[in-house]
């Protein structure tokens, strides 16, 4: 497959012509995100004003499809390079994972009501799929939306590990809508837009090892009354909806991880150049140089593959196999790179507040979120 006119390969991925978009993204992230990053990590979430500031700068409404998706690929790469998986997770879930359901399956009215504000950062979105018995396998989905005589829904159940859980103004929520389907559980399920201020919703913070700005929560729904017009598409369509959206989610997770590896390798390279063992720099040791060479070679391959995956998406041709391979290889390489980065930093890297510690605990989360590596391998085997 050849790049189309106007698309240029660079060593760090595709760009659409060279119109300064990457520089714009970098300067906005440097101004709005980086000065606040440590505070968000400590507080567990991005603050309301910063969501709005990012919205005003246009970074929450970059295209999900078509040639303009390549701008998203640049943005996701730059988000990854900030070196905070919690921040990139929160922004990625909002703009790409949760909102993609509204873009793909929302009616015109639903899009007017929710998408417009969310793209301006005026409302925050979360995606609520995972449950205690329904994580990598959704067959035991238990959250129910009972249809009332008036035709609206009454929702009961519990979701867990939900990014943006306490900040979200609405949840794109996977629910069972019917017990009678013979098409399996997802044939009896659908996605509801649930406003966070409805009665009967409890949110409880679920702090994790890493991803500290991602605001991860358990959500409890007790007799939550949801109007009928909050159903995305029609009931029983969850299977086809989720299959389409999950490929995109894994592509986004992969592109974020690639930016994260880049940051990790830059951190490592500058550390070994500066750090002296006795009189000589660590970068002079063959054992260290070889480890860096190995990591950088693997990274070059994953980076090229990420450009290919982004290119597929920009042409409406994203394959499940491509998204799964990218998600698997990028998130696993991120763990390997982070482990080496920490080891080579010595005890200073193992301090609670060291960047190397954060990279390590953050990297592991991405091999589980959006489908664990084992599931990716199953799918790659089936499709390969």
Residues that bind ligand FAD (CB under 6 A): 93, 127-130, 135-137, 161-163, 208, 211, 216, 365, 368-372, 374-375, 378
CB count within 10 Å of CB 29 equals 21
Q: Least CB distance from residue 315 to ligand FAD, whole Å?
A: 28
The Cα angle at residue 114 between residues 41 and 254, in degrees rounded to 5: 50
Q: Least CB distance from residue 288 to ligand FAD, whole Å?
A: 31
Q: Least CB distance from residue 163 to ligand FAD, whole Å?
A: 3
- Residue nearer to ligand FAD on the CB measure, 295 or 332: 332
DSSP string of 10-70, one letter each residue: ETTEEEETTSSHHHHHHHHIIIIIGGGHHHHHHHTB--HHHHHHHHHTTTT---SSSTTHH
**Start-to-end Cα distance in the chain:** 19
Phi, psi of 190 (to 5 degrees): -160, 175
Q: Least CB distance from residue 340 to ligand FAD, whole Å?
A: 22
Q: Least CB distance from residue 245 to ligand FAD, whole Å?
A: 11
Q: Least CB distance from residue 269 to ligand FAD, whole Å?
A: 27
- Residue nearer to ligand FAD on the CB measure, 98 or 226: 98
Q: Least CB distance from residue 231 to ligand FAD, whole Å?
A: 18
SS3 183: coil
- Residue nearer to ligand FAD on the CB measure, 309 or 370: 370
Label residue 267 left, alpha or beta by phi (over 0 means left) and psi (-120 to 50 means alpha): alpha
- Residue nearer to ligand FAD on the CB measure, 157 or 371: 371
Q: Least CB distance from residue 79 to ligand FAD, whole Å?
A: 15
- Residue nearer to ligand FAD on the CB measure, 121 or 371: 371
Which residue sits closest to ligand FAD, CB atoms considered? Answer: 135
Q: Least CB distance from residue 324 to ligand FAD, whole Å?
A: 12
CA distances from 20 to 17, 25, 170, 345 (A): 9, 9, 34, 35
- Residue nearer to ligand FAD on the CB measure, 260 or 365: 365
Pairing label, strands 125-128, 170-176: parallel
- Residue nearer to ligand FAD on the CB measure, 231 or 370: 370
Pick from 203, 195, 109, 114: which is nearest to 163 by CA? 203
- Residue nearer to ligand FAD on the CB measure, 281 or 380: 380
Q: Mapped to the 3 state alphabet, what secondary structure does 216-264 carry?
A: CEEEEEEEEEECHHHEECCCCCHHHHHHHHHHHHHHHHHHHHHHHHHHH
CA-to-CA distance for 298 and 149, rounded, in angstroms?
58
- Residue nearer to ligand FAD on the CB measure, 162 or 268: 162
What lies within 8 Å, CB to CB, of 39 at 6+ separation is none
CA-to-CA distance for 275 and 89, rounded, in angstroms?
31
Q: If residue 173 lies in a helix (H) or strand (E), which one and from where to where? A: strand 170-176
Q: For helices 320-345 and 286-314, what crossing angle results, to 10°?
A: 150
Q: Least CB distance from residue 161 to ligand FAD, whole Å?
A: 4
- Residue nearer to ligand FAD on the CB measure, 143 or 322: 143
SS3 155: strand
């Amino acid at each position: 497959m050849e790049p189309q006119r106007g698309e240029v390969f660079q060593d760090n991925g595709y760009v659409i012509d060279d119109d300064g978009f990457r520089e714009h993204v970098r300067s906005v992230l440097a101004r709005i995100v980086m000065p606040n990053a440590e505070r968000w990590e400590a507080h567990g979430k991005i603050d309301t004003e910063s969501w709005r500031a990012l919205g005003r700068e246009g970074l929450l409404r970059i295209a999900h499809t078509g040639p303009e998706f390549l701008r998203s690929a640049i943005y996701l790469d730059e988000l990854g390079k900030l070196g905070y998986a919690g921040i990139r997770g929160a922004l990625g879930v909002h703009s790409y994972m949760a909102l993609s359901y509204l873009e793909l399956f929302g009616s015109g009215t639903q899009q007017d009501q929710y998408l417009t504000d969310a793209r301006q950062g005026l409302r925050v979105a979360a995606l609520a799929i995972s449950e205690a018995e329904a994580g990598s396998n959704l067959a035991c989905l238990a959250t129910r939306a009972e249809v009332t005589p008036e035709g609206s829904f009454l929702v009961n159940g519990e979701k867990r590990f939900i990014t943006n859980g306490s900040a979200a103004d609405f949840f794109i929520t996977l629910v069972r809508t019917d017990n009678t389907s013979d098409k399996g559980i997802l044939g009896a399920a659908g996605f509801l837009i649930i406003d966070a201020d409805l009665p009967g919703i409890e949110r409880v913070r679920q702090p994790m090892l890493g991803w500290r700005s991602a605001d991860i929560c358990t959500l409890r729904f007790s007799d939550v009354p949801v109007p009928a017009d909050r159903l995305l598409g029609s009931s029983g369509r969850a299977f086809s909806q989720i299959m389409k959206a999950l490929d995109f989610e894994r592509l986004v997770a992969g592109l974020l991880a690639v930016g994260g590896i880049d940051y990790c390798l830059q951190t490592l390279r500058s550390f070994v150049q500066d750090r002296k063992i006795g009189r000589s720099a660590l970068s002079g040791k063959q054992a260290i140089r070889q480890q860096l060479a190995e990591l950088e070679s693997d990274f070059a391959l994953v980076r090229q593959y990420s450009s290919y995956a982004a290119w597929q998406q920009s042409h409406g041709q994203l394959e499940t196999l491509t998204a799964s391979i990218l998600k698997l290889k990028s998130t696993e390489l991120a763990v390997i790179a982070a482990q080496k980065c920490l080891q080579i930093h010595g005890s200073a890297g193992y301090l609670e507040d060291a960047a190397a510690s954060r990279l390590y605990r953050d990297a592991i989360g991405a091999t589980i979120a959006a489908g664990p590596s084992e599931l990716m391998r199953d799918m790659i085997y089936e499709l390969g």
